[in-house]
Amino acid sequence: CHADLGFKFKAGGNKITMAKIIDGKFCGACHNGEVAWSVENCAMCHSGIPGTPTHFHGSTLQRLVAPAYKPLPAKKTANKKK
C-alpha cells in the first residue's frame, strides 16, 4: 500500500478487489510473490479489524529517497592581494 499511488487508506475507499489483485491489477502488479510479498500475506496491509492500523505507514518514496536539506551557506573568503 503506497501513499505515492494515491490509495485511500480506508476500507472500501478504492475500487480494488481481491479478484483484480490476483489478476495482476492494482497491488497485484507487484504483490505477486516475485516482486513483493504475495496476496497470501494479507495481514501485512490489512489488519482485518476496523480501526486497527496496518503495519505500514507513510510514503515508500519518502523512505527510499534521502530527504532534501538546505545547502550550507557559502563561505566568505577574504580578498587576498597577490
Max CA pair span of the chain: 77
Q: Which amino acid is at 51?
A: G
Alpha-carbon distance of 14 to 30, in angstroms, equals 17
Minimum mean pLDDT among 4-18, 19-33, 41-55: which range? 41-55
Q: What would the CATH number be for the domain defined by 1-50? A: 3.90.10.10
- Domain residue spans of the chain: 1-50
**What is the C-alpha to C-alpha distance for residues 35 and 9, in angstroms, rounded to an integer?**
22
Cα of 40 vs its chain's centroid, Å: 20
Question: pLDDT tens for residues 27-52?
Answer: 888 888 888 888 777 777 666 666 66
pLDDT over 90 percentage in the chain: 0
